[in-house]
Amino acid sequence: MQVEKTILEGCYIIHDTFFGDHRGYFFESFNRNTFLEKTGLAVDFVQDNQSSSQRGVLRGLHFQHGEFSQAKLVRVLKGKVLDVAVDLRRSSPTYGRHVAVELSEDSRTQFFVPRGFAHGFVVLSEQAVFFYKCDNYYHKAAEGGVIYNDPALAIDWQLDQSELILSEKDTILTPLQDIESTLKF
């Protein structure tokens, strides 16, 4: 496992070591001890989630507040996505900044998003299967979000607006500026 720091403290791109031969491949997708050694973070994942989406589906930008905030380790099992994390930690020097990482079944790269971040992704391939581990359980009352096209964030989702497919919930999220006083990170 190789760990690459991003411009946002606590966000890491993880390049897994694959062993392949004529039968296929094998890799260890997560090892708590190795993760701790490489990042200094002791993360205990308690929930795994998986979604399947077609090209243009944009899910995000989501987060959970306070004691229910979640760290996530995300990867793509099939297809390709652009994965985005936005720093919502008001005391952070990178507050309001984001990092975008292309994840695919071919790159075999994972992305670690710590607590205190909004997270989302858009599907760039015809279909994508997205998998993520969370260190806290989902709690509906603690959920929040930032609108994907917030001009202050200036995220390049790599697709034309006309190609995007969003849930009704994601279309009515608000800009970061409108919720920053309510953030509990």
Residues marked as catalytic: 62, 132
One-letter identity of residue 71:
A
CB 167 within 8 A of CB 60: no
Residue 87 to residue 11: CA distance in whole angstroms: 9
- Using the Cα atoms of residue 168, residue 174, residue 175 and residue 179 in order, give the sign of their dihedral: negative
| 156-181 b/e (C-beta count within 10 Å ≥ 16 → b) | ebebeeeebebeeebeebeebeebee
- DSSP assigned state of 24: E
